[in-house]
A and B are shown apart, each in its own frame.
Chain A
């Protein structure tokens, strides 16, 4: 039902206050050919991964956090 996201400003808050920003990816690609993979192809890791969360209904800050996708737990 609920999952607490660690926000550096607000502490642990329910995930419903956040917008999920997906896996952490590079901000740009060195060339056009590799850009497709950067934009469209996800790692879809079945373990800990770095991901982005935006505290929309809170401090409006983006955070990069590590979450285990199989256990659905954040590393703190």
Chain B
């Protein structure tokens, strides 16, 4: 015999039971305590629409007991009430409505102020539903994408008929199991027949997949048992059906009061919901419900009329109904309501898209099976079914709970109205009616009815806006895929590890920060020879008839001045004339161009170039070789000696000029050697096929032992480039830096007829230069970011600084603002003095580069 534990108590589970059915059979009547007043709440809707039966299942809160299948060994706990839901000491709150008047969180506990943190803690403990499990390791639910022509939400008669008739790729999402909600045999037979038709038609049927919203597109996220499905649909047919209208009368929230279909459904599972059941039915469903209850062994009386009042202590014991024959009182232990129909139309109201249409009871509440089937087919054909208003419009008695989730009574709405909150949207926010876990499934129409009855101004009486999510999804259901950290590694990653490098994140790339002692690495570059993995640089090949025209337009560099075999520093400006990126341009001997960008700017550079190719309709081709090529920079006074030891090719300045390039073979690896100098020494950037990086690296380190070679990382590079006064874009620059502010005018050929940003530069040249990036020398070691002051007034800040052995002393770069139109020559950085000096600090003539 299967059993589950409810609050530690073992209860029996029969085949096909929901948790709610099993618990009810075992005598549980109070499933939860209400939010504010801690009133008893029992099974009510029985269809997963209300929030009365939220329980924690195996540590996870928020399961609806009435629709969650019971399984052997489940641990179920009720979420509210202390010490238990049955005996809740806070039930005293039900006698203290004066302490929690409508809108009380705006009114009480506000003074004295210091008391609020304490009050908040107490309130938080007293309210809420369930406790989240203390999870350390969250397993993200996988996300799947599904593209369909038609998505049908709801696997009932109308939904399946629509799915079977729709053309193209079709999917049906059903929150439960197909047919599980159908009580009477006729509906069951129709569903079985239509489900077969749909399957034959190739429809994908997703059971236990609940739609939690409709977003633009239309796009619908479905919460499945172990996946989140994001559906992109050309058309959505909402066939979510209807439930019985929520009845509002004194005592309407007592356990033992049910909505008709739910009661019939629980009865169909063999549960006797009471000995004496009164069914109050104004729909044609009364006898069907009555029959279902009788089959489960209850004594049933079906009456027609308006419920005036229900009474009872722990559960309903009597009801007064205004029948056509007059006022009648009945003793009962179950009161079943079928007062009218309320369409489950939240999804339908969520989307203004014409591609989202309704079918079945959601637009024709209470309609026959044939009408539901017909409307499904009509929706599949693309006809929109005219929504029929659900009648009758809710009637509110003088007292009773309008919003069961948030404990909002008719009285509270009246009080709020008196306070001046006279529209449905404002009433909603002030009273929190419709804002509970059921997300207005029960009470949305009641709030609208109330404002209409009260005579609110036109436009203020509508239904409140429905928004996703309809159900509370768990965070792990939403994070599928989001947590994955993309990471890029160069071909030499394992080599860096083997050398003991500290790997740093640099954008998406992992790059060596240092291999141990970065000062030693600097000495290797300055005095001997060193290598650095620069495979992360953006690398592009540009060819085609209009290649030169493209580059001439896109960059401020005079491309004509770069002869084949030569290379030049390349600045990329945006249309506002601001520096966007930098790199190198090499004119290859076959008429094509090779250019590099910063490591982080590669994607943007590609998009930038492609944009201009497209906009100017140029005959130019771009190949992004960033991932295809590896690059190793060989730098130091012995760089040429090292290459000579591994290459038979001509390495002289005639073959590889500075700045320029040549095609050579190093250790048998074909390389494009760019003779350029970010670090300020004789250096060759060897661009080579990525697959051969390791053998090239190994050969260089092996042959370099003669000069005590050492690879260098980012830490050393930061000092080396700073000694040369080279800027790090983004670290030394700001988003609105034009070349003049950075002292990079030499890289801009204003004589060219036009290029991206030229007009902007002309315009900005007419403005006074208000700030400038300058070289600085300090009489001590400052911190990067330290403000620079003149007479105590902040006029700038340090963007980069370091102790330099090669230069001797403390150097840096920093922003300086003009003071009275003059740029200061000396500033203070706290206790230190900063003197403005020209850059580069090291080898200003560049003789070492040209060596």
The secondary-structure label for the interface of chain A is mixed
In the complex, chain A residues 13-71 whose Cβ is within 8 Å of any chain B Cβ: 14, 19, 21, 27-29, 31-32, 35-36, 38-40, 52, 54, 56, 60-62
The answer to whether residues A35 and B217 also contact, given A1-B230, A2-B232, A56-B603 and a CB cut-off of 8 A, is no
Q: Which residues of B contact A14 (CB under 8 A)?
A: 145, 232
CB pair B610–A60 under 8 Å, yes or no, is yes
CB pair A72–B763 under 8 Å, yes or no, is no
Q: Which residues of A contact B728 (CB under 8 A)?
A: none
**Residue B730 interfacial (CB < 8 Å):** no
Alpha-carbon distance A64/B614, docked complex (angstroms): 10
Q: Which residues of B contact A27 (CB under 8 A)?
A: 612, 615-616
Alpha-carbon distance A49/B603, docked complex (angstroms): 26
Q: Which residues of B contact A10 (CB under 8 A)?
A: none
CB pair A36–B610 under 8 Å, yes or no, is no
**Residue B759 interfacial (CB < 8 Å):** yes
**Residue B109 interfacial (CB < 8 Å):** no
Closest CB-CB distance, B477 to chain A, in whole Å?
14
CB pair B762–A2 under 8 Å, yes or no, is no
The answer to whether residues A28 and B759 also contact, given A1-B217, A52-B611 and a CB cut-off of 8 A, is yes
Alpha-carbon distance A7/B606, docked complex (angstroms): 18
Q: B607's contact among A1, A2, A31, A56, by CB below 8 Å, is which? A: A56
Q: Which residues of B contact A54 (CB under 8 A)?
A: 607, 610-611
**Residue B301 interfacial (CB < 8 Å):** no
**Nearest opposing residue in chain A for B606, CB measure:** A60
Q: Which residues of B contact A35 (CB under 8 A)?
A: 759-760, 763
How many residues of B are in contact with the other chain, CB < 8 A? 26
CB pair B215–A32 under 8 Å, yes or no, is no
Closest CB-CB distance, A75 to chain B, in whole Å?
15
How many residues of A are in contact with the other chain, CB < 8 A? 24
CB pair A29–B759 under 8 Å, yes or no, is yes
The answer to whether residues A2 and B215 also contact, given A14-B232, A28-B754, A54-B610 and a CB cut-off of 8 A, is yes
In the complex, chain B residues 753-792 whose Cβ is within 8 Å of any chain A Cβ: 754, 759-760, 762-763
**Residue B749 interfacial (CB < 8 Å):** no
Alpha-carbon distance A52/B612, docked complex (angstroms): 12
What is the 8 Å Cβ interface bit string for chain B, positions 554-579, against chain A (1 contact, 0 not)? 00000000000000000000011000
Q: Which residues of A contact B612 (CB under 8 A)?
A: 27
Number of inter-chain CB pairs below 8 Å: 60
**Residue B216 interfacial (CB < 8 Å):** yes
Alpha-carbon distance A38/B219, docked complex (angstroms): 35
Q: Which residues of B contact A38 (CB under 8 A)?
A: 575
Alpha-carbon distance A35/B574, docked complex (angstroms): 13
Closest CB-CB distance, B553 to chain A, in whole Å?
9
What is the 8 Å Cβ interface bit string for chain B, positions 597-624, against chain A (1 contact, 0 not)? 0000001001100111011100000001
Alpha-carbon distance A72/B216, docked complex (angstroms): 8
The answer to whether residues A2 and B219 also contact, given A28-B759, A62-B611 and a CB cut-off of 8 A, is yes
Q: Which residues of A contact B20 (CB under 8 A)?
A: none
CB pair A32–B607 under 8 Å, yes or no, is no
What is the 8 Å Cβ interface bit string for chain B, positions 177-218, against chain A (1 contact, 0 not)? 000000000000000000000000000000000000101110
Closest CB-CB distance, A12 to chain B, in whole Å?
8
Q: A2's contact among B217, B576, B603, B610, by CB below 8 Å, is which? A: B217
Closest CB-CB distance, A37 to chain B, in whole Å?
11
Closest CB-CB distance, A36 to chain B, in whole Å?
6
Alpha-carbon distance A17/B504, docked complex (angstroms): 27
CB pair A40–B576 under 8 Å, yes or no, is yes
CB pair A21–B219 under 8 Å, yes or no, is no
Alpha-carbon distance A39/B599, docked complex (angstroms): 27
Closest CB-CB distance, A73 to chain B, in whole Å?
8
Q: Which residues of B contact A56 (CB under 8 A)?
A: 603, 607
Q: List 18 A-B contacts (CB under 8 A).
A: A1-B213, A1-B216, A2-B216, A2-B219, A4-B217, A14-B232, A19-B607, A21-B611, A27-B612, A27-B616, A28-B754, A38-B575, A39-B760, A52-B611, A60-B610, A60-B624, A61-B614, A62-B607
The residues of A with any CB-CB pair to B shorter than 8 Å are 1-4, 14, 19, 21, 27-29, 31-32, 35-36, 38-40, 52, 54, 56, 60-62, 72
The 10 closest A-B pairs by CB, nearest first: A35-B759, A1-B215, A2-B219, A62-B614, A32-B762, A1-B219, A32-B759, A2-B217, A39-B575, A54-B607
